[in-house]
Amino acid sequence: MHDAAGHEDHDHDHDHDPSQVPSDIALRVKALESLMAAKGLVDPAALDEIIDTYETRIGPRNGARVVARAWSDPAFLQRLRADATAAIAELGFGGRQGEHMRVVENTPEVHNLVVCTLCSCYPWAVLGLPPAWYKSSAYRAQAVIAPRQVLATFGVDLPETTEIRVWDSTAEIRYLVLPERPAGTEGWDEDALAALVSRDSMIGVARLPAAAGPRP
């Protein structure tokens, strides 16, 4: 399958664009959804709710666990750097669209941004389903050409001195950004840390604010 449902074995030698002519599979899915809704078999609002759940809630929580562990456990961080797929599998996350992971670390000097310029490759195992903007032709084109401006549209204004590295995901490698640990979280446990980690920070279009108060 392509685009909305991701895809697995493609080799990036075709240039499909989900914002233009819908693919055959997308048309078929739409037709099925319309038919099932018309027959009262599914509620479109319920479908939207399911997608939202995997896009913004369940999916990214896995990545947040990985990030919180990396902040808390130096030995895990080393394993994550050496073989992210294996380290992530220690936490029970893996499988389709998560077989070949690489973690890229933000520092005060370097900010990492992830895109799939040709389609929508995304690390499902740790982030769930990609958000619609990730699949848009605007994001896919501009993230490489003008990453600083793209980040500004997400409300991230980086100092000129910060280097931005853009990582182009493929079916072969999927990237997870390891955000900087927020100030004010010394001594926090993994659950409290994980709760701070947003999906967008793991794609690289957001930075995590300093902790606002005492450990929850």
The contact set with Fe ion (CB under 5 A) reads 116, 119, 121
Residue (37 or 173) nearer to Fe ion, CB: 173
Residue (102 or 148) nearer to Fe ion, CB: 102
Minimum distance between the CB of residue 128 and Fe ion, rounded to whole angstroms?
16
Residue (121 or 143) nearer to Fe ion, CB: 121
Minimum distance between the CB of residue 23 and Fe ion, rounded to whole angstroms?
13
Catalytic residue flag (residue 72): no
Per the CB < 8 A criterion, the answer to whether 108 and 180 are in contact is yes
Minimum distance between the CB of residue 2 and Fe ion, rounded to whole angstroms?
9
Active-site residue (options: 23, 34, 72, 116)? 116
Whole-number Å distance between alpha carbons of 156 and 143:
13
Active-site residue (options: 23, 34, 121, 137)? 121
Distances from the Cα of 180 to the Cα of 83, 145, 183, angstroms: 20, 24, 9
Catalytic residue flag (residue 34): no
Whole-number Å distance between alpha carbons of 186 and 210:
11
CB neighbour burial string for 75-86, b if at least 16 within 10 angstroms, e if fewer: ebbebbeeebbe
Task: Provide φ and ψ at 175, rounded to 5°.
Answer: -110, 145
Active-site residue (options: 19, 23, 34, 120)? 120
Catalytic residue flag (residue 137): no
Annotated active-site positions, please? 116, 119-121
